[in-house]
Amino acid sequence: MAFVTSTSTPTPVGTGIVAVLFATLVASTLWLSRPDQSQETRDCSAFLDRGRAQARAGDYNLAESLFKQAVQCGNSPKCARAPLAESLNELARIEIAQWHEKEAVAHASQSLDIYKKIGGGSSPQSILSQTTLAEAIYGLNKYQQAGELLRDAISKCNARPASVQNNLLKAQALDELSLVDFANGDHKADERDAVAGYNLRLQNAPQDSSVAESLMSIGWAHFYDDQSQAQLEKAASNLEQAAKIAETKLGPKHPQLGLAFYDLAQIYERQGNQKAAQTAKQRANDIFRQSLRANHPLLSS
């Protein structure tokens, strides 16, 4: 998760751009092997898989449409509940990336309710949906409520047996919490939580594209620390590394890469490097025009 700013006041950007890919790491698979799957379950699964493929490819508009179709199929009483919950969570993450936070809150809440009924509030799937819900609530500037949900998610992770899956869930929640810290003006906690999330990702999934998300969070912690040239250089280094990872892992047209360039433009501008800032912003806009909704705020800033 990262901030983008067009003024001195930061504006939150949802990490659905990255975490929509991460969600597949904890997706329920119990329903996939059942021989008695209904047609509605199979249809929901098909739309869900196609939506995930488009999200990985960076086409968030098409992914959003496919996830909505998956939810429509999943709302049938003949469809298994787990694929519906997954579809709702994926849709919420895309809506966060598209800055449709109110819709994301509704869908993440539905996903969480279903998962609680299936496996309890401390299951990996419930923790993931709870983190998604917190991120959507954060996007509505409800920082205290978002922080409470994220700290509870981290506490649940700490109470679970150690595993790669559990550590990545915790890393995701820490990344989100770092921006809650930021919004509350606690820049030391911001950097601490971002670094903790980054270390967990490196230890458990060093080749995953989500490492870029943690680097972006660390970069912004440096950016808003004291605005010194030394801190700006650290921020630029983190964001440049994040951009390199995003382009290698996700491709040259993915929104995550666009977000890294957009954020880099803010840092370059603050450093006084107007040429580099303009180049980075143009690269970001070119990517956003191909992957986000036409009236997305990032395209007009």
User: Is the pLDDT assigned to residue 117 strictly greater than 80?
Assistant: yes
- When pLDDT is averaged across residues 28-37 and rounded to a whole number, the result is 52
Asked which of 14-18, 63-67, 219-223 is least confident by mean pLDDT, the reply is 14-18
User: Is the pLDDT assigned to residue 226 strictly greater than 80?
Assistant: no
- Helix ranges (H only) for the chain are 16-22, 39-57, 60-74, 81-97, 101-119, 124-139, 143-159, 164-183, 187-204, 211-223, 229-250, 255-271, 274-291
Give residue limits of the domains in the chain.
2-299
User: Is the pLDDT assigned to residue 225 strictly greater than 60?
Assistant: yes
d(CA 262, CA 256): 10
* C-alpha atoms less than 13 angstroms from C-alpha of 163 in its C-beta half-sphere: 10
pTM score, two decimals? Answer: 0.88
d(CA 194, CA 159): 21
- When pLDDT is averaged across residues 203-224 and rounded to a whole number, the result is 88
Average pLDDT for the chain: 88
User: Is the pLDDT assigned to residue 85 strictly greater than 80?
Assistant: yes
User: Is the pLDDT assigned to residue 107 strictly greater than 50?
Assistant: yes
- When pLDDT is averaged across residues 92-116 and rounded to a whole number, the result is 97
User: Is the pLDDT assigned to residue 6 strictly greater than 70?
Assistant: no
Question: Phi, psi at residue 16, to the nearest 5°?
Answer: -50, -25
- When pLDDT is averaged across residues 277-291 and rounded to a whole number, the result is 94
- When pLDDT is averaged across residues 206-215 and rounded to a whole number, the result is 90
pLDDT at 295: 87
User: Is the pLDDT assigned to residue 25 strictly greater than 80?
Assistant: no
pLDDT band of 26, cuts 50, 70, 90: low
Q: Domain 2-299: which topology? A: 1.25.40
First to last CA, the chain: 18
